[in-house]
Amino acid sequence: MTPSDLARRALPLLLAIALALSFPAAATAETSLPEDWDDIETQARGQTVYWNAWGGDAAVNRYIGWVAGRMAERHGVEVVHVKLDDTAAAVSRVIAEKSAGNVDDGAIDLVWINGENFAAMQRNGLLFGPFAQRLPHFALTAPDDNPEMRTDFTLPTEGFEAPWGKAQLTFYYDAERVETPPRDMRALLDWAKAHPGRFTYPLVPDFLGSTFLKQALLELVEDPTVLAEPADDHDVAAVTAPLWDYLDALHPHLWRQGRHFPASGPELKQLMGDGELTLAFTFNPAEPAAAVADHQLPPTTRSYVLDGGTLGNVHFVAIPFNARHKAGAMVLANYLLSPEAQARKQDIAVWGDPTVLDMDRLDADARALFGGDDDHPARLPPEALERLLPEPHPSWMEALEAAWLARYAQG
């Protein structure tokens, strides 16, 4: 996919988000849901929850299918996975419903969301809540001890999102073909020049591609602390100038000379599996090991993080303000936090997405569901992931994506 193709695809979504900014933020008070959790579960029984979630990875889709089966068996709730190419499409849908006056019959009951879209939805009163603290399993995340369970891209979630999994930018390479991988972004540029065509990143505004831009900016910016503040408080062009200089130098040495980009993380991984690339990255630290186990990557695959650390965050689910089946959505969000669901999600044979649960809050039987695959040679041990960099304010991601499209999506 070329940058110009992406620009045409992204334009309707960018316009929809801009339209949202013209709406006054609405109150998002609790509806008539029961106070007692047992009563919420009773109300949820028989409901169909339309869960809008990225559908670009077969392992993720299979896991969501497994969740749907458990929800039907245990709670009498049907879960329909509405597969998205981009979460912004769900944001656009809620925006359209709000503009049409639809306040209680929305088509989306639950959405897998990231900080950029959370900021836009919360700012414009498009989310239901607060609800997270009402989920019985939320306490298992120990939010008082783990503040990241209540923070999304520097913004407090205030109970309008429930944590689901953890992520950290992790690089991986074929050790049979790469002796010494680059350990920082400047070294990556030198490596790309010495190994033309063997590295690339996904097309912006794919989330992984945008994350690469943020990682590079964090290393290249003169004062990284400004990225924790709203972009409008700073001279965006001046702050980001080192990034564009860097990319201008990098692009000619990328796969296909930077004229084409893989559309997503799975396509990036496929290029690694096909041997076209020898160095790549993911936002799931366990994905390289899971891909080796699934014979998508060679057994010589190894993982690492950059010497100065890499971006990491918690990903969440949220309920739109006008969701038709809020009780069912809450029961689903709670099940996603159960030890059973979290342990299966973390299994590299299933997905490999790290848990958000605090092991100290689990009993022995629940803790026994986890672990057992940390010694896979393609998987980093937990202590290797301690060099964690905080996400910039979501406005920087919006600014970077717009500038990237304007600069590189011509033609």
pLDDT per residue over 240-280, tens digit each?
Answer: 999 999 999 999 999 999 999 999 999 999 999 999 999 99
Domain identity same for 92 and 28:
yes
Tell whether 382 is covered by a domain. Answer: no
Domain identity same for 203 and 349:
no
Tell whether 381 is covered by a domain. Answer: no
129 Rama class: left (phi>0) / alpha (psi -120 to 50) / beta: left
Each residue's pLDDT tens digit, 196-229: 999 999 999 999 999 999 999 999 999 999 999 9
By the 8 A CB rule, do 23 and 98 touch?
yes
When the pLDDT of each residue in the chain is averaged and rounded to a whole number, the result is 91
Mean pLDDT is lowest, of 4-13, 63-72, 210-219, 227-236, for: 4-13
Domain identity same for 184 and 304:
yes
Q: What 3-state DSSP class applies to 338?
A: coil
CA distance 343 to 337: 10
Whether the predicted pLDDT of 9 surpasses 80? no
Average pLDDT over residues 111-126: 91
β-strand partners of 15: none
Domain identity same for 59 and 106:
yes
Q: Which residues contact 338 (CB under 8 A, 6 or more apart)?
A: 137
Whether the predicted pLDDT of 1 surpasses 70? no
Domain identity same for 308 and 318:
no
Tell whether 380 is covered by a domain. Answer: no
Nearest-5° Cα angle at 205, 192 to 220: 45
β-strand partners of 14: none
Q: What is the CATH number of the domain that holds 106?
A: 3.40.190.10
| pLDDT on residue 22 | 43
**Count of structural domains within the chain:** 2
Domain identity same for 155 and 182:
no
Average pLDDT over residues 104-118: 94
Task: Look up the domain containing 115 and give its range.
Answer: 3-165+314-375
Cα 269 to chain center, whole Å? Answer: 16
From the list 167, 165, 169, 158, the residue with the least C-alpha distance to 119 is 158
- Residue ranges of the alpha helices (H) in 251-355? 265-273, 287-293, 326-336, 339-346
| pLDDT on residue 372 | 62
Tell whether 73 is covered by a domain. Answer: yes
CA distance 341 to 164: 10
Domain identity same for 155 and 173:
no
273 Rama class: left (phi>0) / alpha (psi -120 to 50) / beta: alpha
Mean pLDDT is lowest, of 185-199, 243-257, 331-345, 359-373, for: 359-373
Q: Which residues contact 278 (CB under 8 A, 6 or more apart)?
A: 173, 174, 177, 178, 195, 198, 199, 272
Q: Which residues contact 33 (CB under 8 A, 6 or more apart)?
A: 40, 43, 326, 327, 330
Residue 5: how many CA atoms within 13 Å on its side-chain side?
9
Domain identity same for 233 and 147:
no
Tell whether 200 is covered by a domain. Answer: yes
Confidence class of residue 4 from pLDDT cuts 50, 70 and 90? very low
Tell whether 384 is covered by a domain. Answer: no
- Residue ranges of the alpha helices (H) in 45-164? 58-75, 88-99, 115-123
CA distance 237 to 246: 14
Average pLDDT over residues 130-153: 96
Whether the predicted pLDDT of 293 surpasses 50? yes
Domain identity same for 247 and 270:
yes
Tell whether 187 is covered by a domain. Answer: yes
Whether the predicted pLDDT of 140 surpasses 50? yes
Tell whether 17 is covered by a domain. Answer: yes
Domain identity same for 120 and 265:
no
CA distance 320 to 285: 29
Q: Which residues contact 207 (CB under 8 A, 6 or more apart)?
A: 114, 283
As a residue count, the chain comes to 411
Domain identity same for 23 and 156:
yes
Domain identity same for 60 and 135:
yes
Confidence class of residue 374 from pLDDT cuts 50, 70 and 90? low
| pLDDT on residue 25 | 42
By the 8 A CB rule, do 378 and 303 touch?
yes
Tokens 């001890």 sit on residue: 145
Average pLDDT over residues 49-78: 96
For the chain, what percent of residues have pLDDT higher than 90? 82
